[in-house]
Structure 1
Amino acid sequence: MMFNLLYKNISRHIRLSEKEFQQFSAPFTLKEYKKKEIVLKEGEHCLFEGFVLEGCFKVYFLNEDGLEQTLYFAVKEWWITDLDSLINNVPSTLNIEALEDSKVLMISRKDKEILYETMPQTEKLFRIMNQKSSAALQRRILSLMSKTADKRYLDFLEKYPTLEQRITQQQVASYLGISHEFLSKIRKKTTLKK
């Protein structure tokens, strides 16, 4: 049952028979995280990729002033990792924290490499997923550099339609790259326009 979501997710990119999917999913292990539990801490080596079954995570870094800057939120059917650390075997610059009690299917870097060798189509799957992730991060950077905070807030609501009720306004502000006070002004303005 827990693998149904994973199957649905990867089927958007590659086709696997039932037997192939059993081979693919065998190295994944279910991990449960409590709210506020740290999955990855800056400075550690990221040795996993995780597929979110339920719950919510924030993937963030600390800027020079020690303030959190949220890169993205990972909700059901999203993946969590520090790709740079995972691929290049360098210390992580990111932190991953559970914002709710959550369940994740985890695969280690070692097991993923074995899948590449034993199931070549998985290399295509992760290549496509990495390309989509890179494109999404590029859009995120362009948004931060070119859009007003008001527009970024509307984009956030569109991308994460139910998330604002599940996380703090401070976390939303961190994602948007603005202060909590400025977010309050934007929210009031947006509410008045409705």
Structure 2
Amino acid sequence: MHIQPLLNYISNFVTLTDEEVDILSSKISCRNYLKGQYVVQQGDICKYEGFVISGCTKTFYVDDAGQEHIIMFSIEDWWVSDMGSFITQTPADFNVQCIENTQLIMFYYDDIEDLYREIPKLERFFRSIVEKGFVAMQKRLVRNFSQTAKERYVYFKNQYPKIEQRIPQYMVASYLGITKEFLSKIKGQLALEE
């Protein structure tokens, strides 16, 4: 299993000894998903957190009218799960689906608890990434309430250029909370301004 990208990511937060790397390696697994496959589905209990080695996923929910609402994308070196379901071990509110063939390193719920006991600094590491995710989600909420759709699109395009190139425009529109037709109109306006 090729876990070096994960180790590189962790090293941004904490330093692991060789022994700790061995313990970590024994508690994770790697899984390949095909484009279109689900990592977790609404109503199922999310049993793991995933670290993306390669590929791209979308996290979304489907409302009572059957409308899909994308809340995030995940690409290499990003995390993916239904965090609420994972933490509480209750049914998921969100779906996580692969937009591309995707390889994940999986941290199962029981193994995470073992890792916290055996390598306490990993608890600090996971707390740090959850805190960063929480702050990013709060900022996104503020943008959704305070910015126009055009401003939100420009932010998305500038902040996540690697993602926009990899996903269909209707998914970008769903993430921004607008129709694909309105997104096309915004892109047309921006092209005229350049």
Give the alignment's TM-score, normalised by structure 2.
0.96
* Cα deviation, residue 164, structure 1: 2.1
1:158 aligned partner, one-letter code: N
Q: How far, CA to CA, are the matches of 1:147 and 1:2 in structure 2?
A: 41
> Which residue type is aligned with residue 46 of structure 1?
C
Distance 1:192 1:26 in 2: 55
- For the residue of structure 2 that corresponds to 1:61, the secondary structure is strand
Amino acid at match of 2:110: K
Q: Does 1:55 align with 2:55?
A: yes
Distance 1:165 1:51 in 2: 21
C-alpha separation between the residues in 2 aligned to 1:173 and 1:41? Answer: 22
SS in 2 for 1:53: strand
User: Does residue 1:79 correspond to 2:79, yes or no?
Assistant: yes
1:107 aligns to what?
Answer: 107
Secondary structure of the structure 2 residue equivalent to 1:60: strand
Instruction: Tell me the residue number matched to 2:95.
Output: 95
Consecutive unaligned residues of structure 2, counting only runs of 5 or more, are none
Q: Tell me, what secondary structure is at the counterpart of 2:161?
A: coil
* Cα separation, 2, equivalents of 1:146 and 1:26: 46
The residue aligned with 2:46 is: 46
**Could you tell me how far 1:65 is from its partner in structure 2?**
2.5
SS at match of 2:181: helix
For structure 1, list consecutive stretches of 5 or more residues without a partner in the other structure. Answer: none
Superposed displacement of residue 137, structure 1: 0.8
The secondary structure found in structure 1 opposite 2:57 is strand
| 1:127 shift after superposition | 0.8
Is 1:182 equivalent to 2:193 in the alignment? no
Deviations 1:28-73 (A, max 9, x none): 1110010111111000000100000000000001134221111100
**Separation of aligned partners in 2, 1:134 and 1:12:** 18
- CA-based RMSD: 1.2
Q: Secondary structure at the match of 1:7?
A: helix
- The answer for the alignment partner of 1:28 in structure 2 is 28
Aligned to 2:185, the other structure's residue is in SS state helix
What is the identity percentage for the equivalent residue pairs of Structure 1 and Structure 2? Answer: 36
Note the C-alpha offset of 1:193.
1.8
Displacement of 1:143: 1.1
* Whole-angstrom CA distance in 2 between matches of 1:179 and 1:78: 26
Structure-1 separation of matches of 2:62 and 2:131: 25
TM-score under structure 1 length normalisation: 0.96
